[in-house]
Amino acid sequence: MNTFLSLAAARCSVRSYTDRTVEPKKIEHCLEAARLAPSACNAQPWKFIAVTNPELKNEIAAYTFDPLLSFNRFTHTAPVLIVIVTEKPLIVAQIGAALKNRDFNLIDVGIAAEHICLAAADEGLGTCMIGWFNERAVKKLLHIPSRKRIGLLITLGYPAEGYARPKVRKSKNDVISFNQY
Amino acid sequence: MNTFLSLAAARCSVRSYTDRTVEPKKIEHCLEAARLAPSACNAQPWKFIAVTNPELKNEIAAYTFDPLLSFNRFTHTAPVLIVIVTEKPLIVAQIGAALKNRDFNLIDVGIAAEHICLAAADEGLGTCMIGWFNERAVKKLLHIPSRKRIGLLITLGYPAEGYARPKVRKSKNDVISFNQY
């Protein structure tokens, strides 16, 4: 990549994958990028589970699909799923979150998840963050303690041809201002 | 930068800044990176306000400082503050968030905030995310409607010498696993 801005422009949500295996080294790079992510009070309130076993991955993918709403029909095409589990933050972050009514854990999940997606894009891989899934069932499959929460799932793999759609974003005037709202 | 992983490793929270003015082009690059960030259902539930007016910036910085807890004593040294305001997400994201008990808005704030910090690091600038501030007072200063929420503030500027502290992170074994928790 040349600049971060070019990487941010190139990254897009990929909803169709080839069956090419993702090299373990590349999966490790994505997880390492997540491990290095910043978090409130440096609490690092997370664990990252890479699901590479094809049967297990397909079972989880099935739990992201909602036939009624027709959500996430593509997830089984991704060869890897990454599951972000949120862990209890530090006491100081918990108190701050309560006093300020701001759940820093979810902000931290977003940061770490995007590190994974950006590292993947930099490796020529595609990703898509998945927020709709049967949390209880996925926790059971991965032996995640029932009191824990899953923050997000992320699909990971080589994008199928023609996956890229033009990025649709609000205009600068709609989202950026200086010195006042 | 060479790879995303090297950028992620180089980025760190900067709590001391020089008084060097940040070039408008670089501020724009950071805001553009935020504008390009992904979000749940592509709702883009945000506005980004760059506070560059020195008096206004100092007034806001004062509202991030807690003398009792001695938090954020450094914020006034940053020449720029960026304020992320959260906007109402799309109805579909609101329904999903309610059904799945997961506030996607905060995940989105984390993603966009980290785009700003990574773009800044790529430009040789330092940042620090600030989650502790007097929200009501900052909203009033920036004419943000009272029903809106501020997600985060971010300090932005050229790092003072000796700002870098070694990154402290949990080990791979503590946060990464394969196919089970």
Per residue in A120-176, pLDDT (tens digit) is 999 999 999 999 999 999 999 999 999 999 999 999 999 999 887 889 999 999 999
- Cβ of residue A42 closer than 8 Å to a chain B Cβ: yes
User: By the 8 A CB rule, do A61 and A154 touch?
Assistant: no
Question: Total structural domains in chain B?
Answer: 1
In a domain, A156, yes or no: yes
Q: Please name the member of A7, A106, A108 whose beta carbon is closest to the beta carbon of B4.
A: A7
CA distance B20 to chain A (A): 19
In a domain, B168, yes or no: no
CA B72 to each of CA A105, B85, B165: distance values in angstroms, whole numbers, following the listed order: 20, 20, 17
Instruction: Assign B1 a pLDDT band (cuts: 50, 70, 90).
Output: low
In a domain, B92, yes or no: yes
In a domain, B17, yes or no: yes
What pTM value is reported for the model?
Answer: 0.96
Q: Say if the ipTM goes beyond 0.90.
A: yes
Per residue in B2-39, pLDDT (tens digit) is 899 999 999 999 999 999 999 999 999 999 999 999 99
In a domain, A41, yes or no: yes
Which residue range(s) make up the domain with A28? 12-161
Q: Do B122 and A170 touch (CB under 8 A)?
A: no
In a domain, B2, yes or no: no
The single-letter code of the amino acid at B49 is: I
- Cβ of residue B50 closer than 8 Å to a chain A Cβ: yes
Q: Please name the member of B33, B110, B181 whose beta carbon is closest to the beta carbon of A108.
A: B110
Identify the pLDDT of residue A1: 59
In a domain, B131, yes or no: yes
Q: Do A38 and B13 touch (CB under 8 A)?
A: yes
CA quadruple B157, A114, B106, B70: dihedral positive or negative?
negative
Q: 53-82 in A: which are within 8 Å (CB) of B?
A: 53, 56
In a domain, B175, yes or no: no
CA distance A62 to chain B (A): 16
Q: Which ranges constitute the DSSP H helices of chain B?
A: 4-10, 24-35, 54-62, 91-100, 104-122, 135-141, 172-175
| CB-defined contacts A:B, below 8 A | 222
Domain at A112, CATH number: 3.40.109.10
Identify the pLDDT of residue A67: 76
